Amino acid sequence: MDLLVLTSMAVRPVLADLAPLLPSVRCEAAGGVEVARRIRDGASADLAVLAADALAALHAEGLVGTPRPLWDSETVAAVPADAPPAALDTVDDLRALLTAARAVAHSTGPSGTALRALLDRLGLRGRVHLVQAPPGTPAGSLLADGRADLAFQQHSELAGLPGVRLLGPLPGDTAITSTFAAAVLATAPHPGPARALLDRLASDAAAATALARGMRPHRRRQRLDAARR
In whole angstroms, give the CA distance from residue 121 to residue 29: 32
pLDDT of 148 > 50? The answer is yes
Q: SS3 for 3?
A: strand
Distance of CA 154 to the CA centre of its chain: 5
CA distance 116 to 216: 24
Provide the sign of the torsion angle of the four alpha carbons 190, 191, 195, 198, taken in this order. positive
Alpha helices in the chain (DSSP H): 12-17, 32-40, 52-60, 91-100, 110-122, 141-144, 155-158, 191-201, 204-212, 219-228
Lowest mean pLDDT segment, chosen from 67-71, 150-154, 161-165, 217-221: 217-221
Within 10 angstroms of residue 191's Cβ, the number of other Cβ atoms is 15
Alpha helix segments (H runs only) across 101-177: 110-122, 141-144, 155-158
Separation between Cα atoms, residue 202 and residue 49, nearest integer Å: 12
Q: Please state, in angstroms and rounded to a whole number, the distance separating the CA atoms of residues 88 and 171.
A: 7
- Are the C-beta atoms of 9 and 30 separated by less than 8 Å? yes
Q: Is the CA virtual torsion 20, 23, 24, 30 positive or negative? A: negative
pLDDT surpassing 80 at residue 75: yes
Q: What percent of the chain has pLDDT above 90?
A: 83
Domains of the chain in sequence order: 3-72+179-228 (3.40.190.10), 74-174 (3.40.190.10)
Does the pLDDT at position 24 exceed 80? yes
pLDDT, position 135: 84
- Determine the angle formed by the axes of helices 204-212 and 191-201, rounding to 10 degrees: 60
Q: Does this model's pTM top 0.85? A: yes
How far is 191 from 187, CA to CA, in rounded Å?
8
In whole angstroms, how far apart are CA 149 and each of 41, 44, 51, 86, 126?
37, 40, 26, 12, 18
Q: Is the pLDDT of residue 224 over 60?
A: no
